[in-house]
């Protein structure tokens, strides 16, 4: 059971093409000797610009969402076929902004997860509780439901292309980070849930990232915890100055 550290940058709805190119070039150069696994997920319109810059580097190309259907009359959506065509290998699904701002439910997210896996993508499935859910003592239950429903119908053979990201909603973009102990506790719990579904070996291999106000000064501490296998970084992923030290922690 040796899990690689996996550090992902979610650029959300930021940057123009020239800004994206500049950041991608800086990251490619500065992470060249990085020891961990890396990914950046630019907005859809930036993917074609970023793809050739990071091609052949140790940074994977990700997208932040996909449609639940392969193709068809889905105005405003982006399909797995279109993402594959651009060289995307990984899709972030179920991000809390998708769940809570754009009202995606577990069934829709699961449809996207199974579709993306069927098309050979790696999926980063995000889970995490709201502040009121945590205060009501329901953090574990919420994460369990989102994990179980998100993975419904996912074959054991495909599980090595699934990464989980625990992102407590109250910690995203707020500057409030879960303590390393809080994060480790939920990660351990979720790993148990995965063990119940797929067995101990598969659960032991599952990479579980933490996300929510990860910064250069808290990254190493978070990732020193046994069950924290990496980070999904938002705000601090927008500049090489802040992403590189996180990506090169340790």
Which residues does the annotation mark as catalytic? 95, 167
Indicate whether 42 belongs to the interface with ligand PGA (CB under 6 A). no
Indicate whether 182 belongs to the interface with ligand PGA (CB under 6 A). no
Smallest gap from Cβ 200 to ligand PGA, in A, equals: 28
Indicate whether 164 belongs to the interface with ligand PGA (CB under 6 A). no
Residues forming a β-bridge with 125: 93, 164
> Locate tokens 């800086």: which residue?
26
Stretch that binds ligand PGA, among 23-31, 80-88, 139-147, 229-237 (CB under 6 A): 229-237
Residue whose beta carbon is closest to ligand PGA: 234
Specify the residue, 1 or 101, whose C-beta has the smaller distance to ligand PGA.
101
- Between CA 195 and CA 87 the distance in angstroms is 32
Contact status, residue 170 vs residue 176, Cβ threshold 8 Å? yes
Indicate whether 234 belongs to the interface with ligand PGA (CB under 6 A). yes
Q: What is the DSSP letter of 86?
A: T
Contact status, residue 60 vs residue 38, Cβ threshold 8 Å? yes
Total residues in contact with ligand PGA, by rule CB under 6 A: 13
Cα-based distances in Å from 150 to 40, 53, 135, 193, 198:
22, 32, 23, 12, 14
Indicate whether 9 belongs to the interface with ligand PGA (CB under 6 A). no
Q: Which one of residues 68, 94, 168, 235 is an interface residue with ligand PGA (CB under 6 A)?
A: 235
Stretch that binds ligand PGA, among 100-108, 184-192, 199-207, 234-242 (CB under 6 A): 234-242
Specify the residue, 153 or 173, whose C-beta has the smaller distance to ligand PGA.
173
Residue 237 three-state SS: helix
Contact status, residue 51 vs residue 22, Cβ threshold 8 Å? no
């Amino acid at each position: 059971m040796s899990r690689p550290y996996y550090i992902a940058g979610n650029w959300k709805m930021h940057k123009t093409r020239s800004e994206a190119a500049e950041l991608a070039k800086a990251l490619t150069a500065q992470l060249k000797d990085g020891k961990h696994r890396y990914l950046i997920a630019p907005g859809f319109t930036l993917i074609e610009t970023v793809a050739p810059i990071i091609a052949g580097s140790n940074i994977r190309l990700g997208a932040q969402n996909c449609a639940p259907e392969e193709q068809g009359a889905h105005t405003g959506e982006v399909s797995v076929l279109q993402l594959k065509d651009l060289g995307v290998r990984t899709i972030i699904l179920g991000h809390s902004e998708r769940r809570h701002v754009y009202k995606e439910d577990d069934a829709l997210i699961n449809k996207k997860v199974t579709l993306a896996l069927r098309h050979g993508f790696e999926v980063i499935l995000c889970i995490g509780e709201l502040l009121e859910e945590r205060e009501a003592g329901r953090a574990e239950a919420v994460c369990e439901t989102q994990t179980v429903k998100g993975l419904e119908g996912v074959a054991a053979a495909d599980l090595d292309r699934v990464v989980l990201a625990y992102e407590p909603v109250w910690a995203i973009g707020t500057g409030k980070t879960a303590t390393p102990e809080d994060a480790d506790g939920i990660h351990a719990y979720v790993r148990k849930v995965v063990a119940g579904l797929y067995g101990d070996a598969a659960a032991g291999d599952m990479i579980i990232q933490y996300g929510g106000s990860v910064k250069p000064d808290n990254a190493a501490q978070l990732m020193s915890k046994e069950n924290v296998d990496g980070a999904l970084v938002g705000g601090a992923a927008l500049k090489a100055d802040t992403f590189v030290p996180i990506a090169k922690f340790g």
